[in-house]
Amino acid sequence: GQNIDQPTEMTATEGAIVQINCTYQTSGFNGLFWYQQHAGEAPTFLSYNVLDGLEEKGRFSSFLSRSKGYSYLLLKELQMKDSASYLCAVNRDDKIIFGKGTRLHILP
């Protein structure tokens, strides 16, 4: 996905915290999205970071460091319904370019 790198799979336990990392090339960067995608469904928007720092939205938080080309999505108090793929996507010259996604498995 045009040098957007994120782990292929992760496993975590219900009630725990998990951090999904994403690195990207910084050329033409306008912002960074995180999307959630359940199997067989379209992606749904979680967050959009333009400036450096942490943005919190309920159980989900997203962090961005533009100088390092690095972001993470933090999921707290994991629930079984959080089992999904999480897509990191870069707004590059007003086109959204996606990584390959991270499949998150939640164990009871």
Partner 1 sequence: ETGVTQSPTHLIKTRGQQVTLRCSSQSGHNTVSWYQQALGQGPQFIFQYYREEENGRGNFPPRFSGLQFPNYSSELNVNALELDDSALYLCASSSDRDSGNTIYFGEGSWLTVV
Contact flag: residue 93 with partner 1 (CB under 8 A): yes
How far apart are alpha carbons 33 and 87 in whole angstroms?
8
Nearest 5°: phi and psi at 32? Answer: -135, 130
- Site of tokens 């590059």: 92
Q: Give the nearest distance from C-beta 34 to partner 1 in angstroms.
A: 11
- Site of tokens 């928007």: 45
Tokens of 8: 């292929």
Contact flag: residue 38 with partner 1 (CB under 8 A): no
Q: Give the nearest distance from C-beta 45 to partner 1 in angstroms.
A: 7
In this chain, which of 10, 23, 61, 96 binds partner 1, going by CB under 8 A?
96
Residues lying near partner 1 in the complex (CB under 8 A): 1, 30-31, 33, 41-45, 48, 50, 87, 89, 91, 93-101
